[in-house]
């Protein structure tokens, strides 16, 4: 646990008592604050009370008297499309609003660090797609190289739930726009921007607000080094803002769209090969094609970002290459879950929008595509340029019929359920085919979340493949 510092003896309200909220309350109390907890869910309040935490009804007229701060969970809206009623009252009362990420950055460094020869560092990863894989990959490479590391944030443990850092340790954080948007302190040593595509636009008041939330990771505290994907205009803009000159190697530009040139520090992947250039000269190259845990250009972008980070932390290209080869991938993200008769079964249940589904469709040849669920605005029309590799689509869930209307000449079958879709795809697949779950839709029509959907696919596949 990271005890929260700076609030000793003061009343701090905690709004939202899920995983991060409960961890925040514990960390506040460990640091000497009085955590006053609230959630509009009676079930969540009961869990907190059973843990011995103090409840504090934020709907009371005097609820904000004598509060030093309100700490809110990231899923609770604080501005768009409208502030949560309790957060709006905090604004009116002049009570500062923060989240667990802000508390982490104000509390992570301790006086004990004065005794360390190598102080701990924080790597924070944000972007639209690839955050989880990039974060996990950085963590994996560091551990494989014998460097102490912890993984937290939007993946793994809550940021205040990790252990205080030891000598030379690296904490890798995956941060969503919900987390970076509100945090009052953001001071990573290395910050990563993977890419940008439209998402959560209602929460951020449009694409500009969404990008602004990501940009705060680089603007609020100013990382010592920034790794920036420059395949979208926003990334090129961000890299340009952070650089003092063309040869400023505090900014490492990454790409999977083009060869990067110039006097600075670049890492890019083309035709399956990752290349590192510094001062206009190539210093390393890695063949990513044999690496089963990193299929497709989207994973090559993740590899470029992770490579840039660990190189900035002092690892050698040879150390990085060995670790990349042993990375097995994350569950529900281009995860190979079975193989039989020359047919591969890949779980990319995390592909809940067309951008991530497009990346999955470009990663494999001869695809038996399982898609559908609770479709988003526009359906799958944006995937038309990526359907050439699809031998047949097997459609499930609420949007199955809507998706069928957008498939044009692509063969398809409305299966309704995952069970039938897996069965039909497995029956019709030929050696060399890939049965790919990349839904391009949310899961909430049939499953609690994308993990449950991916687990169901995996269970059905393994029952067939052993």
Sign of CA dihedral 410, 411, 412, 418: negative
Q: d(Cα 90, Cα 118) in Å, to the nearest integer?
A: 40
Is residue 40 exposed (0-12), middle (13-18) or buried (19+ Cβ within 10 Å)? Answer: middle
In Å, what is the CA distance from 243 to each residue of 184, 185, 189? 24, 22, 16
Nearest 5°: CA angle at 30, between 26 and 35?
55
At residue 152, what are phi and psi to the nearest 5 degrees?
-155, -175
DSSP one-letter code for 248: -
Q: Note whether 324 and 303 are within 8 A (CB).
A: yes
The count of other CB atoms within 10 Å of the CB of residue 412 is: 19
Question: Rg (Cα) of the chain, in Å, rounded?
Answer: 23
Question: Are 269 and 297 spatial neighbours (Cβ–Cβ below 8 Å)?
Answer: yes
CB 333 within 8 A of CB 132: yes
Distance CA 429, CA 29 (A): 57
Binding residue per annotation — 130?
yes
Q: Residue 448: CB partners within 8 Å, gap ≥ 6?
A: none
Residue 354 marked as a ligand binder: no
In contact, 270 and 259? CB cutoff 8 Å: yes
Q: Whole-angstrom Cα distance, residue 30 to residue 348? A: 39
> DSSP string spanning 403-423?
HHHT-TTS-EEEEESHHHHHH
Cα three-residue angle 271-272-275, rounded to 5 degrees: 95
Residue 132 counted as an annotated binding residue: yes
The DSSP secondary-structure symbol of 442 reads B
127 labelled as ligand-binding?
yes
Check whether 197 is labelled as a binding-site residue: no
Q: Which residues are annotated as part of the binding site for ATP?
A: 127-133
Pick out the residues of the known binding site: 127-133
């Amino acid at each position: 646990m990271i005890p929260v510092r700076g609030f000793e003896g003061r009343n701090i309200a905690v709004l939202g008592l899920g995983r991060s909220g409960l961890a925040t309350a514990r960390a506040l109390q460990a640091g000497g604050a009085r955590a006053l907890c609230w959630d509009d869910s009676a079930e969540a309040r009961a869990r907190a009370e059973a843990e011995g935490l103090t409840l504090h009804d934020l709907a009371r007229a005097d609820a904000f008297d004598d509060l030093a701060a309100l700490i809110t969970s990231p899923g609770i809206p604080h501005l768009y499309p409208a502030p949560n009623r309790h957060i709006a009252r905090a604004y009116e009362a002049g009570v500062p609003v923060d989240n667990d990420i802000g508390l982490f950055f104000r509390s992570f460094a301790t006086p004990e660090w004065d005794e360390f020869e190598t102080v701990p560092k924080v790597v924070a990863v944000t972007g639209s797609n690839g955050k989880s894989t990039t974060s996990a990959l950085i963590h994996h490479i560091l551990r494989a190289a014998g460097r102490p590391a912890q993984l937290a944030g939007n993946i793994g443990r809550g940021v205040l739930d990790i252990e205080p850092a030891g000598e030379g340790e690296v904490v890798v954080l995956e941060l969503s726009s919900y987390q970076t948007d509100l945090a009052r302190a953001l001071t990573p040593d290395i910050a990563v921007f993977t890419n940008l595509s439209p998402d959560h636009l209602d929460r951020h008041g449009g694409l500009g607000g969404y990008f602004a939330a990501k940009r705060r990771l680089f603007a609020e505290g100013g990382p010592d080094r920034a790794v920036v994907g420059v395949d979208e205009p926003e990334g090129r803009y961000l890299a340009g803002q952070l650089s003092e000159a063309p040869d400023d190697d505090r900014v490492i530009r990454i790409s999977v769209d083009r060869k990067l040139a110039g006097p600075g520090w670049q890492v890019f992947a083309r035709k399956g090969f990752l290349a590192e250039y510094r001062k206009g000269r190539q210093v390393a190259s890695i063949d990513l094609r044999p690496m089963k845990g990193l299929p497709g250009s989207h994973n090559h972008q993740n590899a470029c970002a992770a490579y840039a980070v660990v190189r900035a932390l002092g690892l050698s290209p040879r150390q990085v290459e060995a670790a990349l080869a042993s990375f097995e991938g994350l569950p529900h993200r281009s995860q190979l879950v079975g193989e039989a008769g020359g047919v591969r079964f890949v779980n990319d249940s995390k592909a809940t929008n067309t951008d991530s589904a497009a990346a999955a469709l470009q990663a494999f040849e001869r695809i038996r595509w399982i898609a559908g669920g609770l479709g988003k605005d526009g359906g799958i029309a944006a995937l038309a340029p990526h359907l050439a590799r699809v031998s047949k689509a097997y459609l499930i869930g609420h949007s199955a019929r809507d998706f069928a209307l957008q498939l044009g000449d692509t063969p398809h079958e409305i299966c309704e359920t995952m069970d039938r879709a897996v069965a039909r795809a497995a029956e019709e697949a030929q050696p060399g085919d890939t049965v790919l779950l990349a839904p391009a839709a949310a899961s909430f029509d049939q499953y609690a979340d994308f993990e449950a959907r991916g687990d169901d696919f995996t269970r059905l596949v393994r029952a067939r493949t052993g």
